[in-house]
Amino acid sequence: MRLYTHPACLQHDTGPGHPESPARLRAVLEALDDPCFADTERMEAPCATREILLRVHDAAYVESIFANEGHSLRLDPDTVMSPASLEAALRAAGAVCAAVDDVMDGKTQRAFCAVRPPGHHATRDTAMGFCLFNSVAVAAAHAIERHGLRRVAIVDFDVHHGNGTQDIFWNDPRVQYLSSHQMPLYPGTGSRNQRGAGNIVNAPLPPGADSNEFRAAWDEILLPALDAHRPQLLLISAGFDAHRNDPLAQLRLDADDYAWITQRLRALAGTHAQGRMVSALEGGYDLTALRECTIAHVAAML
């Protein structure tokens, strides 16, 4: 298994008091220093190119982000650019694409990308929800264009719905998007009747939902749909903010739930995708919970 990260992702400065802080990635990297991950191969994330980004983002939007390199500004009330943010976002998207290349080329079977900023709220033409480029969406399009895949799946268990990923692949049946998330909650999308071209499967959970409701949603709705899609590659938007201690939402999961869902996903990847599985960090804002959940998730991938 390989781990992809880059020091530039720590330089994305969101300002004092912002929940999406460099301390999050430091906590994740500290968790991955656990001796149980000693055999994990550490890889330096490359920068994504404009060409790769343009597979899912509008050209004017990409150019606007590049034009703000070296500046500090708010793109919306929650989403910040600092002088180092462009490189961090390029490394984040580049990490997931490099991981896809390596699993498709047989250099590794599974990979985890410890990167920030997160990505799943970024739409084709809008930065939002702490996200600049939609790294997992970029990687899915890369898998199709470079490796000729016909069926890719993106699984998202972040507590917030990945509206950007859903938006990007709304009319593309080659990419299945499956999400469990709290509703109502930011960004307000993700109802069950949002189906795209039949490739969107949402399982919203009410505030206060616990392990039983989370696991039932996956067992009864999401995993059967994933199995039916028979993905040739499985991508994961790994947000850990559905943990009971997370300050930004009200679901009540524990680290064991992330181990459970990862084991189930690994089994399906083994059945349909020759075990090929790439996960990328999204949310998770309680640092202790973030460490515990990262260990549970990555250990279950190993």
CA distances to 72, 127, 172 from 177, rounded to whole Å, are 33, 20, 10
Nearest Cα neighbor of 278 from 112, 92, 93 is: 112
Q: What is the DSSP letter of 233?
A: E
Active site residue 121: yes
Cis ω for the linkage preceding 117 (within 30 of 0): yes
Cis ω for the linkage preceding 184 (within 30 of 0): yes
Residue with tokens 């943010």: 85
Q: Residue 114 class from Cβ within 10 Å (0-12 exposed, 13-18 middle, 19+ buried)? A: buried
Nearest Cα neighbor of 241 from 286, 189, 292, 180 is: 286
| Per annotation, catalytic residue among 12, 121, 161, 272 | 121
- Positions marked active-site: 121
